[in-house]
Structure 1
Amino acid sequence: MSVDPTTNKAADLARARAALIGSPALAPEKRPVPDAATLRRALGDLFELWLSGQARDAGVTGGSGFALLAVGGLARGEMLPYSDLDLVLLHDGDQPEKVQAIADELWYPIWDANIGLDHSVRTVPEALRVAGEDLSAALGLLDARHIAGDEDLSDLLIGEIRQQWRRDAPRRLPQLVEHAQQRWVRAGEVAHRSEPDVKNGRGGLRDVQLLNALALAHLTDGLRLAAEDAPGGGLGTAYRRLLDVRTELHRVAGRGREQLRAQDADEIAAALHLGDRFALSRLISDEARTISFAVEVGLRTARGAVPRRSRSMRGLLPVRRPLDEGVVEHGGEVVLARDAIPSHDPGLVLRAANASARTGMPISTSTLHRLADYAPEIRGTWSGSVRDSLLDLLATGPALLEPVEALDRMGLWGRLFPEWDFVRDLPPRDAMHAWTVDRHLLEAVAHAAPLTTRVSRPDLLLLGALVHDIGKGRGGDHSEIGARMAGVIGTRMGLWPDDVDILADVVTHHLLLAQTIARRDVDAPETAAYVAGKIGHSAVLLEILGALAEADAKATGPGVWSDWKETLTGRLVANTAELIGGGVVEPPAPLTEAALARYQADDVVVEITPTDQDHRFDVTMSAPDESGVLAKMAGVLAISDLRVLRAVVRSEAGKAINTFTVAPFYGDPPEAGLLRQRLRGALAGTIDVPQRLAQMRSVPEPRAPRDGVPGQAVLAPPVVRWVHDDVATLEVRATDRPGLLSAVSAVIERNGGSIRWAAVTTMGGTVVDTFALSWEAPVDQRRRLIIAEQVRAACLET
């Protein structure tokens, strides 16, 4: 659809853009534009035609003293479906009475067309002054391109801006670097995030624009970086492919989104003819790594190109300082010594990486290429020195990430670990994971390094962290597959056979503690016996698994490891260690006669005691043991703004005496007397707990977005499953809502079940509740399915 340049109506522009983009509901093959690049060109032509006509009608013509310039995506020829228009109205300052009227005639139709607009009105001196003060404005104006009006005025600004940038860029380089680093902290890394920001993240599109700005100031070689045979691959190709991803991301999302969500990945992959989201993830990671490498080299070159003050003649000659055997520092980089021979030294790669991690200096590009060209694969069993170099590298913690990334980019890491090919750039299947699988493994090592003093075998902890998920991406149980692979890796590295067995066991059981905490009572003696039996009563393996559980959780994503999970893991490990050491794990202390008498003296008792953790309290409630009492207790806690983290249920002499570990949503918990009063009311029926909970939730009926307008919040579908274990365990995953524990408890109690204990974990607004149950009579599979369906319905009740 074209725009009539004589009318320039906002509605024409809106309709034309919508026709080009097409509905995101259409299959890719039915969309009006065949590919992302064609769509960008068509959108650019559309906006330029419309703006030229609008500018002409507003009096912005040749020799008028006014000019319309594009910056941003339109200026670069990269107009995306829902990108904002970035425009500058330039004037010579001789006709101030016309400026506002012309600006209104240009800007208002764009707003009326519901198109985002970033605009400014400047004279040439004003634009130069703003660019000199505001780094973002300066970078934007470097892309400025004439659209309509007085072309001489546009050329004057473009020429002056670029001359000013070349003059000031060396002085502003530290500010430019800090600006980029702050952006990287906010947006993360494109190559390894499971849901990357392809525009702003490290290795994203804005980094290429940063390199272009450096090249324009002659601080780095833009042509070399853009070449197809450049280090790390062609920057231009990487940029175009990420731009295609971003284009389809806009089209699928129906708005200007920069972060690729997992639920959109398959559709974007199909539009780009990539097959599935795994292929898309690998493409994004590959291209982002190319850009990251280029920006790293470009910034390093730019720093070297800026003259330093007060450098003596001696200071101009970089000193070669030894760092390790065959590895030296030269000019702030890790390089090979003059007499180093990579083809005869298999351990040289790891020593260079280790030196980089310990000093914080990057491995030079020439060194990486020399190692890639000549370093041999290690055939047969590793020597002890090579293995020690790997362990030294892993022990550096977060510092290992950059050098390992450099090795992997050049194919050197894969020579050490051929198994890495299966997990490289592999997107996670679980939404809780923030990283691709390969980066998750390295993050786990980084988090394990500070924990090495907790265990007697720190080497096996680090190696276990490195390979615990190595079996992913092959189908089947990744723990079993990974254990076999870990055995091969350990043997190749020259570990003692017993150590190879431990490493394989670490991979086999790396989820054991987390799953046990979720499904069993950590304080029960039989739980410690269960874990000890699983690990063959190995104290060394138990230590490693305890530390790895923490490192693995921290490497998964924010909020996965909590102080509460740390407490439960610590108690489980301590109880199991006591049992393995020949001690006896005592069950929770029974109620003393005095406590039992206190609970028997009154029909309803409520006690609140602080725990050893901040904002955590134990609430013990006692009431006559009858059907539904647990649901009412949990409901009273919910309407009192207390989130239940764990519940332990017991019955003594006809009384239900249940202890809940709770966390107030805010402030301190209510007084025990108030909770007691509310529990009495719930038991007597004077307080309708379900009704109170419904009022608290007050969630309108969910509805989907419609016509591009966001809908109301949609509840994630709950997942309810029976865990096949020697304990009848029901696992419930659902959107966190007030009274969820009460609702599920009510279903279980209505069906004749008793809850022995319950644990609640909340992650990102989703709860994972686990209930250990007992039944008065055996429950067959059909009955279990009915109960699960009733629980699922209860999770969705409003």
Structure 2
Amino acid sequence: MTERKRDPAAGAPRWVRPAAGSLRPATDLAAAAGQLTSGGSRPLDAAALRDALLDLYDFWLTTKATEIGITTSSGFAIVATGGLGRGELLPYSDLDLMLLHDNMPPEVVGEVAELLWYPLWDANIRIDHSVRTVPEAVRVAGEDMSAGLAMLEARHIAGDGDLSALLIGGARSQWRTGIASRFDELVEHTTARWRRCGEIAHRAEPDLKCGRGGLRDVQLLNALAIAQLADVYPSRSLASPTETLGEAHLSLLNVRTELHRVAGRGRELLLAQHADEIGAALRIGDRFDLARMLSDSARTVSYYVDAGIRTAANALPRRGLSALRRPVRRPLDEGVIEFNGEVILARDARPERDPGLILRVAAASATTGLPMAASTLGRLVETAPELRTPWPRQALKDLLVMLGAGPSAVGTIEALDRTGLWGRLFPEWGAVRDLPPRDVVHIWTVDRHLVETVSRASAFTTRVSRPDLLVLGALVHDIGKGRGGDHSIIGAELATQIGGRLGLWPSDIEVLSKVVRYHLLLPHTATRRDLQDPKTIADVVETLGGDLVVLELLHALAEADSLATGPGVWGDWKASLIGDLVRRCRLAMAGEPLPKPDPIDPRIISLAGSDTVHVELTLGDNSHIYNVTMIAPDVRGLLSKAAGVLALNALRVHSASVNGHRGSAINTFVVSPHFGAPPAAELLRQQLILAMDGELDVVSALEQKEADLAGKARAGEVHAAVPVNYPPAPPKIIWYDGEAEGHLVAEIRTTDRTGLLAFLTAVFERAGVDIAWAKVTTLGSSVVDAFSIVLPAGANEKTVRQSLERELFTVLPAPPAKVEEAS
């Protein structure tokens, strides 16, 4: 209905021009809003602030409407959309206002609009305004998806209430009758927004309004409810273990309110610099606590949006030939069927008598890729009993089927977790649920990382003799996080507890516990120890008790864990290092003698022992990786000069090794150019000679290059580096005892920077310590570098450590963290 029927006795609407001098400015409104937002010594909390601002603007607008003659019989009405329309007005939100009129003369409409808009503009209050008749507004709602969604939540403010009701009723009626033809457009509009803004739960700086799981998605659910296709707030039974949908909505609103207040402007992106202050204002905790709460809220909203869209799609009338076909019920498992593109319970299913039904439904969902119906999950939540301990063998089998399904298992576990069913199966999950990562290289929350690792590990089940223990190990390898202490040790104890509950054999429980306890052993050893040292291999073999099964499980898990961590964490060189370590350990476990260090190429040996400098560059395993070998007289400072030459030529060092023969240093680097082809080996040789002769100060040249780049960034000539995680982690230095007296191993974890290896090795060399060997590993934007150093004779170990720490932190790209000692 878009036409107004007037009562003939009432006459035509009539607007009366206000008397000159009777209009008051809006400066008082802006001042009052600012005072409410700042709050003085006793600021309002987020919810109270929104209510106060809503009352303030409603009062001003209704008063202003009376002043300028917008009355019930004037033929005009003021309608609010956006935050003001929803009753969710934030401190720095725009005012979304529509001036409705009943076909009034253009000159009158223009005069009324100026009397309403100009005071707001003069007071620097941001407004998004429009002037329309009801038919015009309804037509816009039908043509523009964003405008149509906004009008569904319109609210009458002042003037002719019948006119506002006509608009609101007309927009909603048009939405309901046209949803069948516009549903695909709505889904496309939503998914485009998700692609553009990303997921709030796993975003470094999330978009609280438009990101996946944000406030726009709550409004989408409301739009589906207005179309009578879904509920706005489903029952409590379908709730996150910590929040209902309504609570998640309120949490997001409160964070966005505080973001506006802290930033002093209408921001939607939660920047890392504001996180601690917002967490404190909401009494949540620090930025990690805030990130965890946001993850829970956003994932709860995301779950309901996915379920709501599916429910709406199934509720729409079918078109074409599909309207003639009845949906088919396809059996999937005992008590489980497929219907209408979802996994549901069969008519004769009795979940109250069937504890294993949860896992059968989950296994069917994961293996078919079909989602579990919200009604099915709700029924399981309300009626399914707990599984007895130990689990029946069939329940364990269904769990393993689900875990081995690959990527589709991610969505299945997410749905179980958001409804509380996953927590029933694994009570230990609560400590890692929505736990934000502390390491810059991780892109997922800890619980999502575990599930992603399972998804990756499922592709490696043919590599191992116990694929069941591989996927179980992937599922629980980080389960000890979030509890304080060494997560590997705590996780091993929890793995024993979980294995007993699942009904594993005692020997299998022991293997699972070992896998969790030592899941970092292979990558850490391969990247920080000398693999040519027999003691390194012997230590790994002794730690694993000579168990080949555990070794192969750890090998596969190391790759799955890295792939599920983030881009760049797993690569050819990390794979080759771990592969070499596993190969050597296999030989030792098989009873064969440990291999000696790989011999140096006789051709290279023939070049060593002279005063000449030799540099050669060869192609590595693929077209982007190169091996650079530099042979020169072994003098202190050579490694930093060699690394500096590589950095000056835009060669990124992936790994490095140090050898010696007859007084010559043989340094081998695995590098890749930042772009294009690498420079000629002769150019590298000439620059290395200049550096050794003191004619080229590579460290100063690198510092100048970095300063020039920063200057260009400030001038806008190049893009400045952008942090890739939220919040950034500080660098860390961990010390380990070396293989002999006077030997130490320093592991440095930090974000990468140009010439980092040159800067670090220069620190060691200035301190008078020798570098016996080095393992350099780059993981995306992070590096883990290990250096085995030899202290000067008679030097005090503690004093040298403290001095090195101070100097190393001066070249690392972030403030230092607390130094950790290895046990």
Q: 2:759 aligns with which of 723, 728, 743?
A: 743
Partner residue in 1 for 2:18: none
Partner residue in 2 for 1:26: none
Partner residue in 2 for 1:661: 670
Amino acid across the alignment from 1:143: E
SS in 2 for 1:298: helix
Q: 1:787 aligns with which of 789, 804, 812?
A: 804
Partners of 2:495 and 2:475 lie apart in 1 by 10
Q: Which moved more, 1:300-309 or 1:63-72?
A: 63-72
Partners of 1:99 and 1:757 lie apart in 2 by 82
Matched, 1:7 2:16: no
Q: CA deviation at 1:101?
A: 9.4
Matched, 1:538 2:554: no
CA contact (8 A) 1:622 1:658 kept: yes
CA contact (8 A) 1:648 1:758 kept: yes
Partner residue in 2 for 1:372: 381
Amino acid across the alignment from 2:392: S
Q: Classify 1:90/1:587 alpha carbon distance in 2 versus 1 (closer, same or farther; 3 Å).
A: farther
Partner residue in 2 for 1:411: 420
Partners of 2:444 and 2:113 lie apart in 1 by 46
SS in 2 for 1:698: helix
Amino acid across the alignment from 1:205: L
Q: Classify 1:192/1:796 alpha carbon distance in 2 versus 1 (closer, same or farther; 3 Å).
A: closer
Partner residue in 2 for 1:71: 81
Partner residue in 1 for 2:495: 486
Partners of 1:721 and 1:312 lie apart in 2 by 64
Partners of 2:580 and 2:112 lie apart in 1 by 72
Partner residue in 1 for 2:565: 556
Q: CA deviation at 1:45?
A: 4.1
Q: 1:731 aligns with which of 747, 768, 771?
A: 747
Partner residue in 2 for 1:21: 37
Q: CA RMSD in A?
A: 3.8
Q: 1:603 aligns with which of 597, 607, 612?
A: 612
Tell me: higher relative CO, structure 1 or 2? Use CA pairs within 8 A at least 6 residues apart. 2
Q: CA deviation at 1:696?
A: 0.8
Q: Classify 1:135/1:20 alpha carbon distance in 2 versus 1 (closer, same or farther; 3 Å).
A: same
Q: CA deviation at 1:509?
A: 0.3
Q: Classify 1:606/1:227 alpha carbon distance in 2 versus 1 (closer, same or farther; 3 Å).
A: same
CA contact (8 A) 1:650 1:658 kept: yes
Partners of 1:721 and 1:77 lie apart in 2 by 53
Q: 1:215 aligns with which of 214, 218, 225?
A: 225
Q: CA deviation at 1:56?
A: 8.8
CA contact (8 A) 1:696 1:738 kept: no
Q: CA deviation at 1:757?
A: 3.1
Amino acid across the alignment from 2:366: A
Q: CA deviation at 1:159?
A: 3.9
Q: Classify 1:651/1:460 alpha carbon distance in 2 versus 1 (closer, same or farther; 3 Å).
A: same
SS in 2 for 1:268: helix
Q: Which moved more, 1:731-740 or 1:386-395?
A: 731-740
Question: Deviations for 1:39-94, whole angstroms, at most 9, x for unmatched residues?
Answer: 11233344556667888999988888876643322221212234344445667787
Partner residue in 2 for 1:631: 640
Q: 1:136 aligns with which of 115, 130, 146?
A: 146
| Seq. identity, % | 54
Matched, 1:425 2:434: yes
Q: Classify 1:736/1:194 alpha carbon distance in 2 versus 1 (closer, same or farther; 3 Å).
A: closer
State the TM-score, normalized to the length of structure 2: 0.84
Partner residue in 1 for 2:716: none
Q: Which moved more, 1:83-92 or 1:160-169?
A: 83-92
Partners of 1:211 and 1:140 lie apart in 2 by 13
Residues 137-536 of structure 1 correspond to what in structure 2 (within 5 A)?
137-146=147-156, 156-190=166-200, 197-222=207-232, 225=233, 235-260=245-270, 265-274=275-284, 280=290, 283-284=293-294, 286-288=296-298, 290-310=300-320, 315-316=325-326, 318-522=327-531, 524-536=533-545
Partners of 1:772 and 1:388 lie apart in 2 by 47
Q: Classify 1:539/1:85 alpha carbon distance in 2 versus 1 (closer, same or farther; 3 Å).
A: farther
Q: CA deviation at 1:163?
A: 2.9
Partners of 1:654 and 1:417 lie apart in 2 by 60
Q: Classify 1:496/1:5 alpha carbon distance in 2 versus 1 (closer, same or farther; 3 Å).
A: farther
Question: Deviations for 1:392-438, whole angstroms, at most 9, x for unmatched residues?
Answer: 01001221233323333443323322322333333334344333332
Partners of 1:590 and 1:320 lie apart in 2 by 67
CA contact (8 A) 1:455 1:544 kept: yes
CA contact (8 A) 1:194 1:436 kept: no
SS in 2 for 1:687: coil
Q: Classify 1:736/1:676 alpha carbon distance in 2 versus 1 (closer, same or farther; 3 Å).
A: same
Q: Which moved more, 1:332-341 or 1:54-63?
A: 54-63
Amino acid across the alignment from 1:685: G
State the TM-score, normalized to the length of structure 1: 0.86
Partners of 1:349 and 1:229 lie apart in 2 by 15
Q: CA deviation at 1:334?
A: 2.1
CA contact (8 A) 2:640 2:759 kept: yes
CA contact (8 A) 1:523 1:575 kept: no
Q: Classify 1:323/1:15 alpha carbon distance in 2 versus 1 (closer, same or farther; 3 Å).
A: same
Q: Classify 1:88/1:568 alpha carbon distance in 2 versus 1 (closer, same or farther; 3 Å).
A: farther
CA contact (8 A) 1:198 1:258 kept: yes
Matched, 1:774 2:774: no
Q: Classify 1:368/1:602 alpha carbon distance in 2 versus 1 (closer, same or farther; 3 Å).
A: same
SS in 2 for 1:663: strand
CA contact (8 A) 2:288 2:436 kept: yes
Partners of 1:571 and 1:564 lie apart in 2 by 10
Partners of 2:503 and 2:293 lie apart in 1 by 35
Partners of 1:687 and 1:89 lie apart in 2 by 72
- Unpaired segments of 5 or more residues in structure 1? 24-29, 703-710
CA contact (8 A) 2:381 2:420 kept: yes
Partners of 2:246 and 2:285 lie apart in 1 by 23
Q: Classify 1:528/1:13 alpha carbon distance in 2 versus 1 (closer, same or farther; 3 Å).
A: farther
Q: CA deviation at 1:777?
A: 2.2
Paired residues, number: 776
Question: Deviations for 1:254-306, whole angstroms, at most 9, x for unmatched residues?
Answer: 44444556775554343233456676566545544553443344323322221
Q: CA deviation at 1:35?
A: 0.8
SS in 2 for 1:329: strand
Q: Classify 1:126/1:550 alpha carbon distance in 2 versus 1 (closer, same or farther; 3 Å).
A: farther
Q: Classify 1:313/1:527 alpha carbon distance in 2 versus 1 (closer, same or farther; 3 Å).
A: same
CA contact (8 A) 2:625 2:672 kept: yes
Amino acid across the alignment from 1:781: K
Q: Classify 1:718/1:486 alpha carbon distance in 2 versus 1 (closer, same or farther; 3 Å).
A: closer
Matched, 1:619 2:628: yes
Q: Classify 1:593/1:133 alpha carbon distance in 2 versus 1 (closer, same or farther; 3 Å).
A: same
CA contact (8 A) 1:67 1:89 kept: yes
Partner residue in 2 for 1:42: 52
Q: Classify 1:766/1:330 alpha carbon distance in 2 versus 1 (closer, same or farther; 3 Å).
A: closer
Partner residue in 2 for 1:753: 769
Question: Deviations for 1:133-172, whole angstroms, at most 9, x for unmatched residues?
Answer: 3322321232234556776665554443323222221111
Residues 647-686 of structure 1 correspond to what in structure 2 (within 5 A)?
647-686=656-695
SS in 2 for 1:773: strand
Amino acid across the alignment from 1:6: R
Q: Classify 1:363/1:594 alpha carbon distance in 2 versus 1 (closer, same or farther; 3 Å).
A: closer
Partners of 2:370 and 2:249 lie apart in 1 by 27
